[in-house]
Structure 1
Amino acid sequence: MLTFTSSPSLFLMLMFVDWSRALKYGAPCQTMQHMTPIEYAHGPPNADPAAFEILILKPYTERRVKCYDIGKPYLVRIKPNNVAETFAGFLLQSRSSNVPDTRVGQFLQEGLDKIKWQYQPVCRRRLTTLNDNSSFNDDQKLTEITNLLASASITHVSSTPKSKVDTLWTIDEYVGPVYFKGTVVKSQYVWWNDIRSITIDYCKKSKPNEKIEISDTDDREKVSKAFHNTCSDIVPSCKSWSHFCETHAFIFRYCPMTCMKCVSFR
């Protein structure tokens, strides 16, 4: 009878292969939600204050911003606190402050260190298991939501030492306060997670899709039409998924405007 015993050297070798592969090709799809590297390959996160920061800047002038306008591009930068530091890998997401763990906006593929980053791959198989409804599992709808998730989450393309990474980001609709969350890997056992930028809100005082109430019956149709576009989600199929809002947290996270029903009538 054949017996197999585990070898410490073999385990270490496999651990190194897994770590080097992750650094070479970027963060795998399984890390999209928790943004944490595989612990057996990297160990626990560094307990010291993060040696890196995330800045939100105006393109060209590189002045820090405190709010965002719909449709405008912003420069998002990951950089070390010490100019002499470098890092090997990273994962960066734009998130909503109002709806926990919801990714919003999109990183733009044009220019600005594009050779250093890529959209994080999405686990399509995982998405199909979240709902057994056949219409939700339709390939076209799945592609829509996959693209939405991917465009708000980016990772490195290689383990080449980086002194900083710049990327352009924009958002097409008002979703409330937004912040950027990152994980930075300096070396195999030195990494930080939950690195956060400042939180920015819409620049104008009047939010374009705040909840309002209409009591005049005659004005309902006009208001409904006027708010049709500003209250919609990026994913076109969100309207057909609205009946899942209360029963499936997954739909609420990715169709926040549809599920929150920003216009209510009484």
Structure 2
Amino acid sequence: MRRFVGAATAVVLGALGLTGLGATGAAAAPADGACAGVAIVVDLGDLPAGDAGNGSSVRCVPTTGRALDVLRAADVTLEGTAQMGLAFVCRVDGRPAADEAVTMPDGSTRTETCRRTPPATAYWSLWTVGDDGAWRYATTGIGDIELASGGAFALVYSVGRSEGRTPAVTPAAARAGDVPAGWSSQSPFGTTSVVRTGADGVVHDDRPGPAVVVGVGLLVLLGAAGVAVRVRRARR
């Protein structure tokens, strides 16, 4: 029985370590304070700010390779066009919605149907990192861009800009999880837990607290103890 209890205790401690939570609920971060994988930036740009889940965000995942695969690993919801599929990104995390009015430079509005390739005056621009560490406008699709560990990639919605709108965060800030007010970011990077900064500048921590983690661990501990008792009785 001691073996079962010891193993369960290890599970409890491991759970605390995996969530990156201590007594204060602080997030564990990479030693250098930066994203250890690829930082993904979704910048609404010229679109109105959205709620959590469909607003501007920075995420970090350990996945590398095609930008398409990295974006999927980061739980970025993508929608292409009926005409070209994901060869041309039309919607990101549901934005702009099919019934969302996009204000154009001349004051008129349009809605995005995603039937055809969006116009050069209202579309999601793609950005990679150049040799100088600054954002570089991408001229190829997400299926052709390769991303390596320690890099960053951005999607920015741009209106009235032929070569897109530069992301609101630098690649270095994205890798550090340093986001503007109103954006959300993952902390620790590589998990689905979210720490978001509200429009009022207040940080909201949506991660499970230590009590939740310990509670789950105790359930595992009790379950393991019950199994041990049944095994001992069966042997008798």
Query: What's the TM-score once normalised by structure 1's chain length?
Result: 0.21
More helix by percentage: 1
Of the two, which has the highest radius of gyration? 2
TM-score (norm 2): 0.23
